[in-house]
Every structure is written in structure tokens, then in C-alpha cells.
Chain A
Amino acid sequence: MKKSVLFWLPAAAISAVAPAYAGQYATADEAAKRAFPEATTFKESVFQLSAEQLSAVAATTGLPAKPALWRSLTAMNGDKSLGLVVFDGVIGKYELIDYAVGIGVDGKIRNVEILAYRESHGYEVRLPAWRRQFVGKDKSDKLRVSEDIASISGATMSATHITDGVRRIVAVVDQMRVAGKL
């Protein structure tokens, strides 16, 4: 009898929590709306940094700059630009993590949203509590794991690579602002 109780535990555990939680990943549109709820429209834009700007990003972040075309959504309220949401992907431990970073015109991070996480371990990077650590930070912050961003036990690589990615995006957006392109 005792054994049969033990063997039913898995089913009980699933049925207890199953109805309470469903999919938790944000879509690109949701990520944008969460960053800028006051926005009336979002304009799609693609931008690329010059060689000088890439060097500046590498110098500021201590990371190799991605010579990438960055995809973003600019949040507008009427004619006024509120900031933008930049979409990116980094490798966690083995697999690609898709994420988005919302940054206001003041350069401060509005949100970090995980769009897709595929690793077997380390899903915790998508937890709101962990992502909230980035909110309000800007280029004057370190934005480094084990310094101003707490690591995640069992998901160090994912936490580190997302944090590095966010630091890079903050620097990239800053370059765009300096160039008067935002």
C-alpha cells in the first residue's frame, strides 16, 4: 500500500500545479507593450553600427561587439519617441536564448523579456524576479553577473550570457543616441 501511494505521487504533483501555470514566454509584441504600456504605436526599425561605434561598444562592455543588424521596435506616443525594444539572441550553455530589452529615451532599462529558452536546465532566467534586477539600470551600471546582477545556481552560463547581452544592447543603444539616430 505504501508503495502504491509513492508511485501515485508524480501524477498528484502534476495535477496539483497543472492548471495554475501555462506558457510564460513573451511574444515580441508583448515584450514591447510591457516595456512601454503608454505607447500608442510601435515602429519597426533595423539599424547597424559603424566600425567606430562597434569599437566603442567593445571598449565600454569588455565584450566583442556583434557586427549585426539590430531589429527593434520604436515606441511612440503620438509623435513622441518613448524609447525602443531591441531583439537579440545569445547562446546560453548550448542553445540559443531569444530575448528583448526595452530601453527608454533616458537610457534606462524598462524590461528584459525572454522570448524563447531551450536549455534543459536554467529556465530560471525567465523568472520575473531575476529579470527585474535589470530594471532602472543604465550604462553607468556594471551590468555583470555576480556584481550587480545575482547569478543563478545551476544556470550560471545562461545568466551570464544574457547579462552580457543586455550590457551590450545598452551600449549599442547609447551609441545610437549619441549619433542622434533615436
Chain B
Amino acid sequence: MHPKQKPIKYNARVFATTIAVGLALGMTATAASAQSNESQLLSKLEQLANELEKVKAELKSMKAKQDAAPVAVALVAPVASSAPTASSDTVLSAYGELNYTRPRGDSSGTQTDLARFVIGYQHRFDTKTKVVAELEVEHAVTSADDSGEVAVEQVFVEHKLNDTFGARAGLFLIPLGLINQNHEPHTFYGVNRPAVETSIIPSTLREAGIQVFGEHDNGISWSTGITTGFDLTKWDPLNGESVESPLRTLHQEGQFARSKDLSLFAAADWRGIPGLRIGAGFTTGKAGHGTAGFLAPDARTTIADVHARWTPGAWDLSAVYARGTISGAGAFNQSFAGAPYLVPKSFDGYYAQGAYRLRLSGDYVMSPFTRIERINIGKSFDGVDPSLNATSYRTETIWTTGLNFNIAPTVVLKADYQKYKIVKDSDRINLGLGFSF
């Protein structure tokens, strides 16, 4: 309470009482004097009313100042340094990717796509609690006639319990691989994200749920939680997208997510040696949701990965292995009779990548890189005649070679060539522009 507030309230009461007394006096006055005094009383009343209004306005302005005071303190308080570095409770962020792709075989398939444009914000409520949100537009336009998509990529509240432990709740990114949580264009090499981290780990994989996390001085960080999971009833045996990334059509992303069956995830990383990161993670859960008549009521989907990244000096070396399984879908597969796309029992892939960051003058950095990936999106199938399993998908090998050219730390021009060993028609040249802040 402001020290001057009480006397003002008291004055307001005094004025009100004075008005009441004045009115009472006015009513009991003699009829003879009434007419002459009436005008005086009225003018005094008017004067009092005016003063009361002034006091009210003053009180309002003081209250406003009082309310504003703690905000000003909060803005200044976290700054331990006297150096004038700006920091706001609310920070706007964005990133975007514009890609040009020219297939080597059929140049009529050449296209340019504003693959992603994301705007987000982070707002800090206090030193322990904040909200992080990102809204994404994929492929530039979304309408009844366009194939773009508008989606909430993440929106979660984070609360730190202390310097080591915290919790998050909302729609958040599942901590798998190297890309899913760090996917801004300047953080990965090549125009397209690695196939392993789009087909096996369907980045950007996010689900709604709760998690706890810890960050320790020995370099270990971990998180674990319970989220909505996959919904196998959405599998479409006629849709090729189902098989390009088996779990991409099954994720729920917070949209009326069926929640009878939930998933558990856990992930841990170790960064005890500067420049080295080694980690692993998994998410697993049932995906039938008790659907009446569904032929895979106990189906379980799981993705697990191990990853490593080592950045000695200017080198940037990384490797990821990821494996997905969908168990218990045998009878479901048998019901597809003749349909082209069956639910795979297992699918996996790995990549190894090497890049070298050449710092030119100023902030210009040129990073030539190469990446080899081996990926199989249908290694085995449940419910299929064993003799047919021999025709399980073959393992594709993809070489991606090119360079990232940073014209600012988070603004990057990219160029690469991708070569496929089996589906040679997929060989292509990619050019890209990306930024983030």
C-alpha cells in the first residue's frame, strides 16, 4: 500500500459525509431562509462534488503508479550486471526456410517452396515460470485449394523448481535425435533435414503432456514424461505418405488427441567433455485407444534413438541411429487385402555426417559437409505371409553433399546435391535460404 493512499481515502469519506450533512441541513432549514440558502448550498455542493472528482482522479493515478512499480522492479532485478544489455519479459522469435529443388531426372518436377515460416514468442511470468509458443505455416498458403498447413508447433509452460530441476506442461517437442528439438535452418546442414530425422523420427514430433527435467553439473541432462501418443486407427493403406514416414500420419499433435492410451518418453544426454554430446531417447505407448472393432487393439508404437555429435575445433561430426516399431498390427494388416501400404513392424535408419566450418572474414562462415544415410521404412511386417516378407522394402542409401554459407550467425544460404542408390529418380539439386532469430 502506498503510504499516501489512506489519507486520500479518508478525505474522500470526509467529503461524502460533508455532502450528506449538508443535504440534511438543507432539508431542515426554515422555509423562509430556504430559498436564499438553497443557491449557496447548491454552489457549495457543486464545489464539493468537483473536489471529490479531483480526489478520485488523484487516487486513480496513484493506484496506477503503484501497480506499475513492481513491473519496473522486475525488469531491472534480473540484471546482475551494470552493463546495459536489454532484456524483456516477452521475446519474439521466428524462422523461415525457402527451398528450391531440381530433380536430376525429370526437370519438370523442379519446384520452389516456402517450406516453413514460423513465428513464436516466449513470455516470462517470473524468474521461474515462462510460456514458449511457436506457430508454423508450412508451404506458404493454406486454404481449401492449397496443401499448406498452419499448426501450433509448440506451446508449453515451463516452471523451474530450482537451478537443477523443472517441469513443463503443454504441447512440446519430444526429445529424440539431434533435429527434433533444434530444427532452425542454421542448425543443420543441407537444405532438407536428414531423412532419418524426418522418416524414422517424424520431426517435428510434438505431443501434449507433462514432463520433468534435470540439468546436472556432471554434464547429464534428462527429461521424462507422459504425453498423448500415436493413433494407429488413422493408418491409411492407400496413402503413400503413410509409408514415407510410418509415424507421420499417426501422430496427434494436440488436435482432439485420443488419450485413452498415453505414451511415455525419456531421454538423456551427456555433455561432460566440451564439444561432445552423446545421448539416447525413446517414446513408447499403445495406439489402439480401445476403438471398438479395431483389429490391432493392443498395438504399440515405439521410437528409440541414439545420437552423438562432436565438434572439435572447426569440425562438426554427428551420427544418429533411430528405430521405430509398430507391434501387434498383424490382423490389421491382413484386413487390407490388396492395398499397397501395410503397417511396418519395424523401420530404422542411421546417418553419419561431417562438416568443416571455415570462418571467412567477419561473420561469414562456409561449411562444406557430406552425409551418408541408410534408411529402411519397412524392414518387416506383422500378419504378412513370411514368404512375402522377402519383399520388404529395401534399404535406401542417400548421399548428401554440399555447403552451408552463413552470412550472419543465424542466416544461411545452402546448396547441396542428393544422390539415391535405389530410387535414382530422387537424385536432386537443392538450394535454400534460411534464417532464425
Are chains A and B native binding partners rather than an unrelated pairing?
yes
Tell me, rounded to whole Å, the shortest Cβ–Cβ distance linking B183 to chain A: 11
- A154 x B79 contact (CB < 8 A): no
- A13 x B80 contact (CB < 8 A): no
Given A94-B93, A123-B215, A150-B311, A133:B162 Cβ within 8 A: no
Any chain A CB within 8 A of the CB of B275?
yes
- A23 x B214 contact (CB < 8 A): no
Any chain B CB within 8 A of the CB of A147?
yes
Given A70-B82, A124-B271, A153-B271, A96:B87 Cβ within 8 A: yes
Chain B, residues 387-424, CB within 8 Å of chain A (1/0): the string is 00000000000000000000001100000000000000
B interface majority secondary structure: loop
Given A24-B163, A151-B275, A96:B79 Cβ within 8 A: yes
**Distance of A89 Cα from B214 Cα, bound (Å):** 24
Tell me, rounded to whole Å, the shortest Cβ–Cβ distance linking A18 to chain B: 7
**Distance of A115 Cα from B162 Cα, bound (Å):** 14
Any chain B CB within 8 A of the CB of A69?
yes
Count B interface residues, CB 8 Å: 61
- B312 x A150 contact (CB < 8 A): yes
Given A24-B164, A94-B91, A151-B275, A89:B219 Cβ within 8 A: no
Interface band, chain A: 35 or more
Any chain B CB within 8 A of the CB of A28?
yes
Q: Which chain A positions have C-beta within 8 A of B215?
A: 123-124
B158: nearest residue on chain A (CB-CB)? Answer: A120
Any chain B CB within 8 A of the CB of A22?
yes
- B311 x A146 contact (CB < 8 A): yes
Q: Which chain B positions have C-beta within 8 A of A151?
A: 275, 311, 316
Interface-located stretch among A3-11, A33-41, A103-111, A174-182: A3-11
**Distance of A122 Cα from B130 Cα, bound (Å):** 16
**Distance of A151 Cα from B212 Cα, bound (Å):** 26
Interface-located stretch among B31-39, B49-57, B220-228: B220-228
- B182 x A154 contact (CB < 8 A): yes
- B83 x A10 contact (CB < 8 A): no
Within 8 A of A (CB), among B47-94: 78-87, 91, 93
- A129 x B82 contact (CB < 8 A): no
A68: nearest residue on chain B (CB-CB)? Answer: B83
Any chain B CB within 8 A of the CB of A128?
yes
- A96 x B84 contact (CB < 8 A): no
Contact of A144 among B86, B359, B362 (CB under 8 A): B359
- B277 x A153 contact (CB < 8 A): yes
Q: Which chain B positions have C-beta within 8 A of A22?
A: 162-164
**Distance of A17 Cα from B215 Cα, bound (Å):** 10
Please indicate which of the listed interface residues B83, B266, B312 has the most CB atoms of chain A within 10 Å of its own CB: B83
Contact of B78 among A7, A96, A128, A152 (CB under 8 A): A96
Please indicate which of the listed interface residues B93, B266, B274 has the most CB atoms of chain A within 10 Å of its own CB: B274
- B309 x A153 contact (CB < 8 A): yes
Any chain A CB within 8 A of the CB of B238?
no
- A98 x B78 contact (CB < 8 A): yes
Q: Which chain A positions have C-beta within 8 A of B362?
A: 62
Q: Which 3 A-B pairs have the closest CB atoms?
A: A150-B275, A71-B82, A96-B87
12 example contacts (A-B, Cβ-Cβ < 8 A) are as follows A17-B220, A23-B162, A46-B82, A66-B85, A69-B84, A70-B82, A95-B124, A118-B124, A152-B277, A154-B277, A156-B187, A160-B409
